Structure 1
């Protein structure tokens, strides 16, 4: 089966914009189907044809598979509020983002049209769930057979498992008392407004298994979380439990006055579940966490620019009046070094300065790195202070260790080196052999075989076909070529020559066999250039450089990465000839590894339409950031965007979670400004603290002199959502009455626009209830040199372009 075509969302939606769609319907809903064909044979004239046998009938049964009793954990991309979070969530409608854009509409509900989702998101408290006391979310693990078994006290769904689901298959359930079910579960005609499809550009997110077509489905709760009333102490918090449930088989209950047939509770399949705490004072929402990144390590004041670089806090100052030894320590620490214990070969203990590849300064180039064959040759010593610099030596040994630990890479590198050795031998013999015709440009054969083939194509065949003639004189064999006086020296001189290097470089580009062997080596080294598999302790050698809830900027040291690649390339050398040959091909391999690193993220994301073959990606100076924060775990698809000094977005080279709370980002270029933002597919829905929402424009630019789609119509044009709640004796149970909310909101929008806007759908409701994704912006390493006026112009132009393109969506 050929893969489905990519949705244009990934290419047409600008980074930072989002498209909202009412739904994304599958061509055929999930379920068991059959195809029946009947055929009758007739004979004779058309007017009186008689039946001959039959009718013949054939039946083919098949199943359209889709999740029914469980979904993979990887299908859930984001939960809002995040799992186990604390914060001011009372005015936020929880929602879940699913990686499959079709999922909410893959199963039909009886009595509803195809645009009605079969999923609902329920927000509950501990006292509103029966059973399940052994788990935080109060769910109960069971099997499909046990779940569907009749129970006089529990109402089960009228569910027919599909053919691929067994009675012993596991599932999770949640039991809700009937009174709570009547209060919190959406009605059948309300469900369509609580799910929509969303398109977003995923270029500024960690990949993390995101479906790279840029489409997501979103299921929103119809209930606001329970929270302590205003004026409660800060420590007063309320546990909220969220369940993504299946309503398939429960259709008769999805009406204002359901008949529970004497049961005390209703059992629902729970496909996803999590908990969070809502209280008056925020503790873990995006704004607090993001603003905390701007504080000093002790949180007592705002951090300075110098404190935002990845380095140790220095105990000394590099100022006049400070003793010279302490000034030297301050300079080293300011340059990103860390003092570490070091034992020299003779056994004495001392200390060495170590700096990893992530530095607060951009070091100057070190010439000897490219030609180094051992780690010792990269060991630095400062005789003035009697200290060692072990940074580049550590990088070389790290590259060697990582290479030797990967047996597949060792095999690929060995095969490439063997092929390169054969190439070098061929080039050497071609240059020194007297049996081949002299160099005549394109006429010169490459090998003896091609020379003999040239003879066959020339006068040799004519000579062989003629009558033999008597030789005119005695024949004597040709004299052998004299052996070279210094074969190894001649080979050494040949390999060092510019002609040999040019020939090797050309062959690595043109010879298909060599290119095939080189490709996996370059791919592996490209990952190494991006510091993949490099231990975290080599990147951040001291935990004080990256304290909890901190953001640190850095440059990458090209000397360190060059030594790292050199260590990985140098394995397998058995002689001086091997070492010299490695040096001959190293420049080409390093160049291609840099190209691979520059294009790696696009390859990983499966982006089409990259640079053409004759214009490979170029790796420039690399900058980046390390983020250690609950933002990483709470918002795993956190958006990170960097802008260069020219106002253009910088390409992302790598964006990976090194741990649940640590995010590493590398950019191709030096960032002038950087922005952390809630992901577009994960922004929040809800109301402001006063229960109001601002009314947003619902018209596209081509509809006349209107505001851009989604823009707030004005500070005074608001709508009070909390006037449209289901009646409830419990003030903590605030469930939207969509039957009242939707027509009232639609009428308010018609009035605000001065015209009838037409049908009001799920995407329209989502647009009005959206709480704009929060973001925080930092000046990057070049922030002081970033022209403010040009920055504003570039940003304004980009925002205008994104608004226009977003409107077309």
Structure 2
């Protein structure tokens, strides 16, 4: 729901928005105070927590309704003397677009009483609107244009709120005329168009201000048609009630009916509230919120002995004051209802807000089954029952459980919220690969506890449902694995080679390059040192080699790699977890080195806040949270650890998941890290509460505060005298050191969840305080109301600062208390139209008398000791009246006594992850890296095996290598005057290579040798057919280009590109060309996504070709042939094939293959069949 913030939105789309916003504000404030920034990047709100500012109205710059005129004047001055200036005038008429007969979605922020709920008859319903300008978007009174300076502080809105009983709005079958079949809704309104209502007015039995609205735009046909077609809901008021609502009453309580309806008194019933939203579940997504409030002027029925239904309507009074007269007694008045709801008016003595808060205080408990259920199980002589009762007391539930082998049994289960403190389990310190090893058997009852196993599965399931997290985790694991393996292999090779000097990296070579240059000048044919004597190419390039058994094992599970891998993985992970400054770690207030780590950290922290966890895992049994209950709980760190471990278990391709251990290592570093410019480590929930009550529905923004001092017991505030001082602490600083609430949400209708990072009884957490929100407080006629009298306690108001206000010792006492009966003169409330009548047909505040009397009494308010006034104002206004009509708000304080706070010692360590040791997987067979022939460290090799030896390339210890028996090397390959690793350039005379195989490129005479290039067997056909098929329509169709690779397993060649060339042109008898042209969407790979397929139109030998290029999909630009799969087929989409005059035609296509170190291009052709199905 949108909240108006005057363009200063601080909303963060995260379940941790409270802590993230607090951390970012701390960083911005610290930088500003340290002089690192010239301006405050995130200034605190002007209103401190607990403060609000009221305005009588917020009018937009332009009103909707009447036409507005823009007049633009431009004067063009001539540079020539004697010529007159040219004056151009342009006019444009326009209308302001604003709601008129219906409201946009989310315009209504909240209503009171909530739909379907009940309250006292003295309560005046009200509606809170998200847009502070909305009540004044349109003109409520044309007289506003002529108001005096005294009236500048008030403005008549176009929206009013009225309460009706069923008999006041219920229509009889023929009330709207014979033949009209309009159906009323549950709130007794009628859904129809404006045009239909206007048609009813022409029949003579209905009047409506719509006629005046249409009269304003009568000269604009387009605007008139737009209004008539508008949909809306309308109520039909009885004429006498309409007169009472839009008339004034004199001091004798007699109705004074003017010549036409008067809307002036409704300017006192709409105002604007600018509030600090700290501690609110819904509005708390922003730091401040600006709302408009429309208060009703009519109360509910006064004489009901049983609950009665009342309908509340937010009505448009646009055009009402322009009506020429009041309707006749036989005509109904149609008014547009923009929002409506029903609530129940309760007779005296029923449950109210005070009773609801009292009931919550009397039933405080922790999150577990009620005592009655536990006592039934714990029988005195039943040891098994006592044990089960103890488990239920600890918050467990009995659930159905199906084992892996299929048996159905029962198990114990508990969610992350526990009634007592649960310390980290020292035995649950190893990561899990399935969650099964996290089950705990209760040996006393023989039932398995599956809590942590379920938590692991929940975390894994939630991670699988988040593709962004899965992708980021996979990439992050790859980065850790590649970096750690590289460092571990280097260390293993250096160890096997006898030190770092025997194995040098590029950086080492570059560092010693200056010494290498000096050694070059010592090289001479007759140098005494044999190391500097020139040698033959074979001696120069064929140096000493290690024996086969001396090669170190470099696999993931090799012992030398395994010993050092984790240290290297942690180091790589730490580097990836840094911020871009390269010094500090990423803490969500700076910029990360790795965007993947940003995603992973956010996901893990969200899980620590239990965000996204299904409700039935948090509340494992409905009996744990009964209706009208406040239940407290601790957060089980082991449950949260298991859930996070399940999520981080994804993307693991190794038996031993050491990368997960490295990821948890940097998560713990973040948890223990106090970020720069902050005063504390990251806040993580450890305590919380559930509130399930109708109060949450009635007040969605029920304010929650943490108290640093134990609250004192307050006296009964039900009297309405408002004498008791607020239990809330004085307004705190705009930015506290730590966020009081870490998570605060309405998770279901009537259910509130709050999480904190402090335990009850700690220095800064002595209690909780629940307060009605300032923008959702109730409005009431007075502290008492009946069908015979009204009791009003006039409150003190102030126009001085808070410091001066607190010097008034009587500031909490009512300024004046009085009671008025319905027969008294100069009454503040009107019961009925006739003064002597016992009817209650009006039930309305007497305005403007109420507001005028309030300001007069406040002017006589006692002064300060220095003679200055506490209140100095002479203009009655809606903001002042709203503070008087505010029903005394209730505060519900929860001091933490031994019953709630002494459930166990609170942990003081950092809330780090405990399951950090990687899980070990027992292999069924010995790994290749451990075999003797690959350098098994279990058997110590001899010196001759482990040290470099001077052996030729043909030594028995050299790796086995054998060319294909049919390989016949060319003469240039056997030249002995060049180094063995240098291939002499050799180009065939004709520049082409001819294959022995039809319709394929063959790279050798026999195919399949280490020096051979692979063979490509190509074909083209229509999908599902054996050839290309065309018909008379010859519509564009897809073509399958089948490219099969063979002989690549023996080839070490590096393929750069493979091309298929298709001749383009019309079909003729002399030249068989497959297509005339191609302008389709292009090709796409079928299954081998390691290649890209691109198209190009080229010219060759004076002819056009469609060139289809198969390119390896990697950064190095080539692919080793022996790593290629057996096919690289692709689909050419929507190709239009030529139609030939023969049933079957053979078409020849060309192919080309390009390789690294192969200057020649390997070319070939293949033939395909095109069949004409129309012949």
Same fold by TM-score greater than 0.5: yes
1:135 counterpart = 2:168: no
1: distance between equivalents of 2:337 and 2:681?
Answer: 47
Q: SS at 2:339's partner residue? A: strand
Q: CA offset at residue 172 of structure 1?
A: 1.8
* Distance change in 2, residues 1:9/1:408 (3 Å): closer
Instruction: Check whether the contact 1:369–1:378 (CA below 8 A) recurs between aligned residues.
Output: no
Residue 620 of structure 1 and its aligned partner are, at CA, apart by 4.2
Q: CA contact under 8 A between 2:524 and 2:534: conserved in structure 1?
A: no
Distance 1:284 1:594 in 2: 49
Aligned to 2:108: 76
The alpha-carbon distance between structure 1 residues 645 and 768, as it changes in their structure 2 partners (threshold 3 A), is closer
Alignment partner of 1:501 is 2:570: yes
Q: Which residue in 2 is equivalent to 1:665?
A: 754
Partner of 1:655: 744
How far 1:427 moved relative to its partner? Answer: 4.0
CA contact (8 A) 2:492 2:561 kept: no
Query: Where does residue 165 of structure 2 map in the other structure?
Result: 125
Residue in structure 2 matching 1:224, options 277, 299, 304 = 299
Aligned 1:682-761 pairs, distance under 5 A: 682-686=776-780, 687-689=782-784, 691-702=790-801, 706-707=805-806, 712=811, 714-715=813-814, 717-718=816-817, 723-726=827-830, 728-729=833-834, 730-754=839-863, 756-761=872-877
For residues 14-33 of structure 1, the aligned pairs below 5 Å read 14-30=48-64, 33=68
Deviations 1:316-372 (A, max 9, x none): 499996543333222211111112233434444443221111100111212325523
Mark the CA change 1:516 to 1:44 in structure 2 (over 3 Å): closer, same or farther.
closer
Asked if the contact 1:147/1:156 (under 8 Å) is kept, the reply is: no
For 1:705 and 1:312, how far apart are their aligned partners in 2?
A: 50
Secondary structure in structure 2 of the residue aligned to 1:524: helix
Other structure's SS at 1:670 match: coil
Deviation for aligned residue 1:705: 5.4
Q: Are the counterparts in 2 of residues 22 and 762 from structure 1 also a CA contact under 8 Å?
A: yes
CA apart distance, 1:285: 3.1
Closer, same or farther: CA 366–36 of 1 in aligned 2, 3 Å = same
Structure with the higher helix share, 1 or 2: 1
CA pair 127-763 structure 1, distance change in 2 beyond 3 A: same
Shift of 1:654: 2.0
Q: Secondary structure at the match of 2:627?
A: coil
User: Do the aligned partners of 2:132 and 2:292 also contact (CA within 8 Å) in 1?
Assistant: yes
- Is 1:293 matched up with 2:402? no
- Match status 1:624 vs 2:688: yes
1:400 paired residue number:
460
Is 1:270 aligned to 2:375, yes or no? no
> Are the aligned partners of 2:576 and 2:597 in contact in 1 as well (CA < 8 Å)?
no
1:645 & 1:515 partners in 2: Cα distance? Answer: 44
Counterparts of 1:721 and 1:10, CA distance in 2: 47
Q: Quick check: 1:697–1:708 contact (8 Å CA) kept in 2?
A: no
Is the 1:675–1:776 contact (alpha carbons within 8 Å) kept by the matching residues of 2?
yes
On the 8 A contact 2:69/2:93 being kept in 1, the answer is: yes
Whole-angstrom CA distance in 2 between matches of 1:495 and 1:356? 36
Deviation at 1:133, TM superposition (A): 5.4
Q: Distance in 1 between matches of 2:517 and 2:862?
A: 93
2:753 match: secondary structure:
strand
Match of 1:154 among 207, 212, 215: 207
Contact kept, 8 Å, 1:80 with 1:94, in 2: the verdict is yes
Contact 1:10/1:200, CA 8 A, preserved across alignment = no
Q: Given the alignment of the two structures, is residue 424 of structure 1 paired with residue 484 of structure 2, yes or no? A: yes
SS in 2 for 1:531: coil
Q: Which runs of 5+ in 1 are unaligned?
A: 295-301, 599-610, 787-809
For 1:339, the equivalent position in structure 2 comes to 398
Q: Distance in 2 between matches of 1:372 and 1:95?
A: 55
1: CA distance between counterparts of 2:379 and 2:802? 67
Which of 645, 658, 663 aligns to 1:580? It is 658
Q: What SS does the aligned partner of 1:190 have?
A: helix
Residue among 51, 55, 65 paired with 2:84: 51
**Corresponding residue pairs, total:** 739
Question: Which residue in the other structure is 1:559 paired with?
Answer: 638
8 Å contact from structure 1 (residues 312, 338) kept in 2: no
Report the equivalent of 2:939: none
**Matches for 1:72-221 after TM superposition, within 5 Å:** 72-88=104-120, 90-109=121-140, 110-112=142-144, 115-129=155-169, 131=171, 134-149=184-199, 151-152=201-202, 153-157=206-210, 158-159=212-213, 167-185=228-246, 187-207=262-282, 213-221=288-296
SS of the aligned residue for 1:576 comes to coil
Residue in structure 1 matched with residue 954 of structure 2 by the alignment: none
C-alpha deviations, 1:249-279, integer Å up to 9, x for none? 22225xxx94448981222221111111213
CA contact 1:695–1:714 (8 Å) conserved in 2 = no
Shifted more, 658-667 versus 367-376: the winner is 367-376
CA contact (8 A) 1:16 1:201 kept: yes
Between the aligned partners of 1:169 and 1:439, the Cα distance in structure 2 is 87
Q: Distance in 1 between the 2:485 and 2:802 partners? A: 72
SS in structure 1 opposite 2:861? helix
Aligned-partner SS, 2:775: helix
> Is the 1:190–1:739 Cα contact (8 Å) retained in structure 2?
yes
Q: Distance in 2 between matches of 1:352 and 1:587?
A: 33
User: Any conservation in 1 of the 2:704–2:770 contact (CA below 8 Å)?
Assistant: yes
- In the alignment, is the contact (CA less than 8 A) between 1:746 and 1:760 conserved in 2? yes
Task: Name the CA shift for 1:573/1:721 in 2 (closer, same or farther; >3 Å).
Answer: farther
Q: Are residues 92 and 486 of structure 1, via their aligned partners in 2, closer, same or farther at CA, if it must alter by over 3 Å?
A: same
Return the TM-score normalized by structure 2: 0.57
Please give the alpha-carbon distance, in whole angstroms, between the structure 2 residues aligned to 1:748 and 1:763.
Answer: 16
Match of 2:911 in 1: none
Equivalents in 2 of 1:459, 1:636: separation in Å?
A: 75
CA-to-partner distance for each residue in 1:284-329, whole Å, 9 max, x for gaps? Answer: 53223333334xxxxxxx54x5x44434535349999654333322
Larger relative contact order, structure 1 or 2 (CA cutoff 8 Å, min sep 6): 1
What's the CA shift for 1:227?
2.5
C-alpha displacement of 1:86: 2.1
SS in 2 for 1:82: coil
Q: Report the CA distance shift for 1:702/1:651 in structure 2 as closer, same or farther (over 3 A).
A: closer
C-alpha separation in 2, matches of 1:590 and 1:147: 68
Distance 2:803 2:666 in 1: 57
Q: Is the 8 A contact 1:650 1:669 kept in 2?
A: no
Match in the other structure for 1:4: 7
